[in-house]
Amino acid sequence: MGCEYDHFSDHILCVCDGDYCNDKVVMNTTRQKYVTCRECSEKQPDCDSTCEGHWCHEDMSTGASGCGYGPPALPFYYRTPEIFYYRNKVCITLSRGAGKPRRHCICSTNMCNTVYNFQYNMRDREKESSLRSRSLTMSATDYSIPLQTCYNCETNTQDATAMSHTTNCRSNRCVGHYCTYAAQRHTSKNSMGRSNMVHAVSELQGCMNVSDKTHIQMGCSKKWISDEYEEIHCACHGNLCNSDSLTAASATWLRVIHVVIPFLISFLF
């Protein structure tokens, strides 16, 4: 707990425990190692600009790359330097909604996010093409993780009551290591002064393949500003477990019970 850079050099995130503890900023200055990274936008995939940060990142689908600050950050992963304890690169592929799957990587050595380092070789492509049941493809994926069938859907609405009518894409499916669910809700007061009226809702459901299954944040995390904004991110393991946040969270607890109870029984008897 404390304050750290939040992915960008000008973003700070503080976490604390206690009433009114969030009125001060006390930076954690233990992370001082810097690496040089390639820094290019999606519009300039062939640029040769560089930056200095705590780690490097790249969107392999678009060529966008840059520097990351603070704890290493990947979608649906815990933000922790332990991600790089046993390897210097971690990648995921996300399929969500109607768009094409996108590959994201983070790494911890100088210029590790260059195009040359992140291009996957022909052997990986041949292995991926032989497994056509997978809806996601990526280099260095972990083929030992069981595949899950997940909802692959994107919905946006200005009225929460209309969400029940936007179910057409619920028939879409994808296959991957984990199912994912993300939602954002913006709230505002109406003309009568009532608060907590949903102004805009967006939901993303899909699947995720990973090159490293450690440090994945199973279950759901939630951040909010009262009466203004709410953000939920879930990762779960189980067919169609990403229908909503409650289902994703309960699927994680059921998985814990199935693992822990047999272990306790064997230990006790």
Model pLDDT for residues 9-33, shown as the tens digit of each residue:
899 888 888 888 888 777 766 666 8
Question: For residue 75, which of 239, 220, 217 has the smallest C-alpha distance?
Answer: 217
Q: Is 31 exposed, middle or buried (0-12, 13-18, 19+ CB in 10 A)?
A: middle
What are the tokens at 15?
Answer: 């976490």
Q: Give the pLDDT confidence of 178-231 residue by residue, as tens digits.
A: 999 999 988 776 666 565 566 678 899 999 999 999 999 999 999 888 878 899
How far apart CA 91 and CA 77 sit, in angstroms, is 11
Domain segments of the chain: what residues? 2-107, 148-267
Cβ–Cβ under 8 Å, residues 180 and 206: yes
Cβ–Cβ under 8 Å, residues 69 and 5: yes
Global confidence as pTM: 0.76
Q: Average pLDDT, whole number, for the chain?
A: 79
* pLDDT reading at 73 higher than 80: yes
Q: How many CA atoms lie within 13 A of 51 on its CB side?
A: 19
How far apart CA 237 and CA 150 sit, in angstroms, is 9
Determine which helix (DSSP H) or strand (DSSP E) holds 231, and give its type and residue range. strand 229-236
How far apart CA 170 and CA 153 sit, in angstroms, is 6
Q: Give the pLDDT confidence of 98-134 residue by residue, as tens digits.
A: 778 999 999 999 999 986 544 444 344 444 443 333 4
Residues listed for the chain: 269
Q: Give the pLDDT confidence of 226-237 residue by residue, as tens digits.
A: 878 899 999 999
Q: Give the pLDDT confidence of 239-265 residue by residue, as tens digits.
A: 999 999 999 999 865 554 444 444 444
pLDDT at residue number 205? 94
What are the tokens at 74?
Answer: 């990947």
